[in-house]
C-alpha cells in the first residue's frame, strides 16, 4: 500500500460527496458566480485571516488582500491553502458563509483522513502523500474552472404591451 494513488483513492472514496472539488462543482459553479484571481504566490503558502482597523484581510504568504467580510476571507482561504490561481465566488453573498463552512469542513476532514491512513508511516511519507492529495484537489478545481469574470445576468427586459398600448 505504498502507492500515492492508492492513498488518494482511499481518501477520495472515504470522503464521497464531501470531496472538496465535488462540493465546488455542485455548490459553487452551478450558481451565478464571478471569478477571483489570486496574486502570484508560491504553492502551499502560509494563509492567515487578519482583523484590522480597515476590515478583514487575507494574508497569503507576504501578500495581503482586503476582503469585504469574514465569510469571503474564509471561503478564499480554503483555495489559497490549496494554491489555486483562480476560483469562482458565489455572487449571492448570503450563500458564501454556508459554503465556506462546508469547504473548511471538507478541507479538515480530508487532512484528518490522510493522517489516519498514514499514521503508521514516517513523517516524510505522510507529508508527501498529503501534498499529492492537495495537488490532486487543486488540479480538479482548476479543471472545473473559475467561471466568468463578471456574473451573467438575465438579459430579457421585455415588457408586455396591452392592446390599448398600456404598459
Give the bridge partners for 60, in sequence order. 47, 63
Residues in the chain: 167
Give the bridge partners for 59, in sequence order. 48, 64
Q: Are 3 and 118 in contact (CB under 8 A)?
A: no
The angle, 0 to 180 degrees and rounded to 10, between the axes of the packed helices 123-144 and 70-82 is: 110
49: left (phi over 0), alpha (psi -120 to 50) or beta: beta
pTM: 0.83
Q: pLDDT digits over 84-120, tens only?
A: 999 999 988 899 999 999 999 999 999 999 999 999 9
Mean pLDDT, the chain, rounded, equals: 87
Domain definitions of the chain by residue range? 4-144
Q: pLDDT digits over 111-146, tens only?
A: 999 999 999 989 999 999 999 999 999 999 999 988
pLDDT at position 147: 73
Distance, CA of 60 to CA of 37 (rounded, Å): 13
Residue 13: pLDDT over 70: yes
Amino acid at each position: 500500500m505504498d502507492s500515492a494513488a492508492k492513498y488518494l483513492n482511499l481518501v477520495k472514496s472515504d470522503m464521497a460527496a464531501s470531496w472538496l472539488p465535488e462540493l465546488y462543482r455542485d455548490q459553487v459553479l452551478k450558481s451565478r458566480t464571478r471569478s477571483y484571481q489570486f496574486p502570484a504566490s508560491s504553492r502551499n503558502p502560509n494563509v492567515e485571516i487578519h482583523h484590522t482597523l480597515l476590515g478583514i484581510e487575507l494574508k497569503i504568504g507576504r501578500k495581503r488582500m482586503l476582503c469585504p467580510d469574514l465569510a469571503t476571507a474564509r471561503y478564499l482561504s480554503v483555495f489559497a491553502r490549496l494554491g489555486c490561481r483562480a476560483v469562482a465566488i458565489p455572487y449571492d453573498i448570503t450563500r458564501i458563509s454556508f459554503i465556506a463552512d462546508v469547504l473548511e469542513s471538507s478541507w479538515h476532514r480530508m487532512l484528518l483522513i490522510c493522517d489516519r491512513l498514514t499514521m503508521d508511516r514516517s513523517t516524510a511519507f505522510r507529508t508527501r502523500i498529503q501534498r499529492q492529495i492537495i495537488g490532486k484537489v487543486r488540479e480538479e478545481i482548476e479543471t472545473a474552472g473559475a467561471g466568468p469574470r463578471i456574473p451573467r445576468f438575465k438579459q430579457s427586459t421585455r415588457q408586455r404591451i396591452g392592446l390599448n398600448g398600456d404598459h
